[in-house]
Amino acid sequence: MREDGDVAGLAVNLAARVEQAAKDGSTYVSSTVRDLLLGGNQSFEDRGEHALKGIAGAWRLYELAG
């Protein structure tokens, strides 16, 4: 957290890029988030690998299914 109260860092940047990759009205999460939620009531649909601006490598994204 910055002195001005703004948040920064890789996780914040990653979240913004995942949000940009999602289609309107849908919620995408990274494989890390999906793995942390396994065993719960949520289900996920694989949306493939994505290149996220400013973040190295390919990231597998999942859509949160209703």
Domain residue extents for the chain: 10-65
Q: Please state, for a pLDDT cut of 90, what percent of the chain lies above it.
A: 64
> Which pLDDT band holds residue 11 (cuts at 50, 70, 90)?
confident
Looking at residue 19, its pLDDT comes to: 94
Looking at residue 44, its pLDDT comes to: 96
The answer to whether 60 and 30 are in contact (CB under 8 A) is yes
Sheet containing strand 58-65, strands side by side: 28-30, 58-65, 43-51
> Which pLDDT band holds residue 6 (cuts at 50, 70, 90)?
confident
Contacts of 43 (CB under 8 A, 6+ apart): 64, 65
pLDDT per residue over 27-64, tens digit each? 999 999 999 999 999 999 999 999 999 889 999 999 99
pTM listed for this prediction: 0.82
| Separation between Cα atoms, residue 44 and residue 60, nearest integer Å | 12
